[in-house]
């Protein structure tokens, strides 16, 4: 689409802001309103043909069909392909918050790793900061709307609502206004239509400019504190987010809680967790609780030197598998390998590698079960206790492999070797066993 010859400064600034985004395809979140209509236009005229598409989220609310029709008309006017996604926000104390969560998830999925352009502007940023102040937010909340978080980019945060609407009108984009924006029972609308205008009338200067400037200062400090707080504290293991306990318990509580919020943001982006969730994770970190339930089916529980945050899932346990020598078997997320070894050779064993003197015949790999015991020379130890001492997380124990020979546990994989399996007899042969993460 060609850029019109005469553009207002706001229209030029909108195109420039979009042009500065990283190269690659863009998805525009097209609500059907004026702001997103200008965002779609700026993307259409500033990016190469075929690199922009629009996505509209229909929430199934009273005005949703009108907004969808407007989005379809805007996309048609701009020559952009449009994908309409219908969602059903869950019942919640805050319907708007629930709708926002499912909307962002749908947009992120539709972008498939690309960027999602949002139409938020300076007025939105100021209203968000004021709203967060009224709910008692900390520095992260008072920093307002981030220019970029995850796949979501907001290039218009320095532009004003009224100026963007004039651009939409000048271009004759067929947008419509969402009637829910006039509902003063919603706090965001009360802030927009009553609190902000009233403050603006009685205070010197442009209120939006003042609030946004303060938010930007806080955002810079907030980003610095994030770098200080995180370090090597947060890591991931499959679908689990791990927090290292030692640094958390030695750093100031304010930084520890910040690290926890960042971990929670990774688990359920873009939200950094409620104060209740942070306190729950902190309790597990400090050892006053071994496990705490969080929101959205998440749990926080202690796993040795870590606190894990994850959604419990039903563990699939493989059937027992025969292991020949030489040979290898895949058991869940583990690869167990067996090879013949020369006798009488001393070697240092590691947790995931051992040399055993076993009776001739086939070995078997199976999951550890309740009641299993492993020989320790002076008696025996519960396999469950051995797994616990080795720091194997509870969530992994139901499918943890053991290797047995003629019905006796020879090796709790990566954890403990049975004492009897170290002693050479006339009937035994030496075998090397190795465990790898598959």
CA distance 98 to 90: 6
- Counting residues of the chain whose pLDDT is more than 90, the rounded percentage is 72
CB-count burial class (<10 Å; 0-12, 13-18, 19+) for 88: exposed
Question: Given 156, 189, 214, which residue is the final one in a domain?
Answer: 214
Is residue 18 domain-shared with residue 132, that is, in the same domain?
yes
Is residue 356 domain-shared with residue 237, that is, in the same domain?
no
Query: What domain range includes position 175?
Result: 9-214
Classify residue 173 by its DSSP letter: -
Is residue 352 domain-shared with residue 415, that is, in the same domain?
yes
Is residue 204 domain-shared with residue 242, that is, in the same domain?
no
Instruction: For residue 48, report the phi and psi dihedrals to the nearest 5 degrees.
Output: -60, 150
For residue 23, the model assigns a pLDDT of 84
Is residue 203 domain-shared with residue 263, that is, in the same domain?
no
**Model pLDDT for residues 260-274, shown as the tens digit of each residue:** 999 998 888 777 888
Strands 299-303 and 327-331: unpaired
Asked if 26 contacts 151 with a C-beta cutoff of 8 angstroms, the reply is no
Is residue 350 domain-shared with residue 301, that is, in the same domain?
no
Question: Given 287, 310, 333, which residue is the final one in a domain?
Answer: 310
Domain annotation covers residue 226: no
Domain annotation covers residue 331: yes
Domain annotation covers residue 158: yes
CATH number of domain containing 304: 3.30.465.60
Question: Given 310, 333, 364, which residue is the final one in a domain?
Answer: 310
Distances (CA, A) of 2 to 8, 14, 55, 80, 366: 16, 15, 22, 13, 66
Confidence of residue 120 (pLDDT cuts 50, 70, 90): very high
Residue 92 has pLDDT above 80, yes or no: no
For residue 270, the model assigns a pLDDT of 72
Mean pLDDT of 103-114: 93
Is residue 61 domain-shared with residue 175, that is, in the same domain?
yes
Asked if 295 contacts 281 with a C-beta cutoff of 8 angstroms, the reply is no
For residue 359, the model assigns a pLDDT of 87
Confidence of residue 304 (pLDDT cuts 50, 70, 90): confident
For residue 244, the model assigns a pLDDT of 95
Cβ neighbours of residue 66 closer than 8 Å, sequence gap 6 or more? 32, 176
Helix axes 9-19, 161-170, angle to 10 degrees: 100
User: What is the b/e burial string over 195-226, where b = at least 16 CB atoms within 10 angstroms of the residue's CB?
Assistant: bbeeeeeeeeeebbeebbeebbebbeebeebb
CA distance 24 to 79: 18
Number of domains the chain is built from: 3
Domain annotation covers residue 225: no
Domain annotation covers residue 224: no
Of the two residues 431 and 314, the one the predictor is more confident about is: 431
Is residue 183 domain-shared with residue 267, that is, in the same domain?
no
**Model pLDDT for residues 16-69, shown as the tens digit of each residue:** 999 999 888 999 999 999 999 999 999 999 999 999 999 999 999 999 999 999
For residue 145, the model assigns a pLDDT of 95
For residue 2, the model assigns a pLDDT of 46
Confidence of residue 347 (pLDDT cuts 50, 70, 90): low
Domain annotation covers residue 426: yes
Is residue 143 domain-shared with residue 177, that is, in the same domain?
yes
**Model pLDDT for residues 379-401, shown as the tens digit of each residue:** 999 999 999 888 888 888 999 99
**Model pLDDT for residues 36-46, shown as the tens digit of each residue:** 999 999 999 99
Residue 213 has pLDDT above 90, yes or no: yes
Is residue 67 domain-shared with residue 31, that is, in the same domain?
yes
Residue 1 has pLDDT above 60, yes or no: no
Q: Residue 151: which H helix or E strand, with range? A: none
Is residue 107 domain-shared with residue 248, that is, in the same domain?
no
- Helix or strand or coil: residue 106? helix
Is residue 153 domain-shared with residue 22, that is, in the same domain?
yes
- What are residue 307's DSSP bridge partners? 243, 302
CATH number of domain containing 95: 3.40.50.620
What are the DSSP calls for 342-395, one per residue? Answer: -TT-----BTTEEEEEEESS-EEEEE--TT-EEE-SSSEEEHHHHHHHTT--GG
Domain annotation covers residue 99: yes
Domain annotation covers residue 223: no
Residue 364 has pLDDT above 50, yes or no: yes
């Amino acid at each position: 689409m060609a850029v019109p010859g005469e553009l207002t400064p706001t229209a030029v600034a909108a195109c420039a802001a979009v042009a500065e985004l990283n190269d690659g395809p863009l998805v525009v979140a097209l609500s059907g309103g004026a702001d997103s209509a200008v965002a779609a236009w700026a993307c259409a005229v500033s990016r190469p043909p075929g690199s922009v598409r629009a996505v509209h989220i229909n929430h199934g609310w009273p005005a949703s069909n009108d907004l969808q029709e407007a989005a379809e008309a805007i996309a048609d006017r701009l020559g952009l392909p449009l994908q309409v996604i219908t969602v059903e926000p869950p019942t919640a104390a805050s319907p708007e918050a629930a709708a926002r969560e499912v909307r962002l998830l749908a947009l992120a999925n539709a972008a498939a790793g690309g960027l999602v352009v949002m139409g938020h502007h300076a007025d939105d940023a100021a209203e968000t900061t004021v709203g967060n102040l009224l709910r008692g937010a900390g520095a992260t909340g008072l920093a307002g709307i981030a220019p970029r978080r995850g796949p979501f980019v907001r290039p218009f945060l320095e532009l004003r609502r009224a100026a963007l609407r004039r651009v939409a009108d000048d271009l004759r984009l067929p947008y419509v206004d969402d009637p829910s924006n006039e509902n003063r029972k919603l706090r965001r609308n009360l802030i927009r239509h009553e609190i902000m205008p009233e403050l603006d009338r009685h205070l010197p200067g442009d209120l939006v400019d003042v609030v946004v400037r303060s938010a930007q200062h806080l955002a810079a400090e907030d980003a610095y504190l994030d770098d200080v707080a995180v370090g090597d504290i947060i890591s991931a293991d499959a679908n689990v987010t791990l927090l290292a306990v030692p640094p958390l318990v030695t750093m100031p509580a304010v930084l520890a809680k910040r690290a926890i919020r960042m971990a929670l943001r990774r688990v359920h982006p873009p939200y950094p967790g409620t104060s209740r969730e942070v306190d729950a994770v902190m309790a597990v970190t400090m050892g006053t609780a071994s496990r705490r339930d969080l929101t959205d089916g998440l749990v926080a529980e202690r796993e040795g030197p870590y606190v894990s945050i994850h959604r419990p899932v039903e563990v699939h346990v493989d059937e027992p598998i025969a292991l020949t020598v030489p040979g290898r078997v895949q058991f869940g997320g583990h690869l167990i390998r067996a090879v013949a070894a020369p006798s009488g050779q001393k070697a240092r064993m590691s947790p995931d590698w051992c040399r055993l003197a076993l009776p001739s015949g086939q070995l078997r790999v199976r999951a550890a079960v309740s009641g299993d015991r492993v020989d320790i020379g002076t008696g025996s130890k519960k396999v469950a206790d051995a797994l616990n001492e080795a720091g194997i997380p509870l969530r992994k124990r139901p499918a943890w492999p053991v290797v047995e020979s003629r019905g006796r546990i020879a090796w709790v994989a990566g954890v403990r070797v049975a004492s009897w399996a170290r002693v050479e007899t006339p009937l035994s042969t030496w075998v090397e066993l190795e465990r790898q993460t598959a």
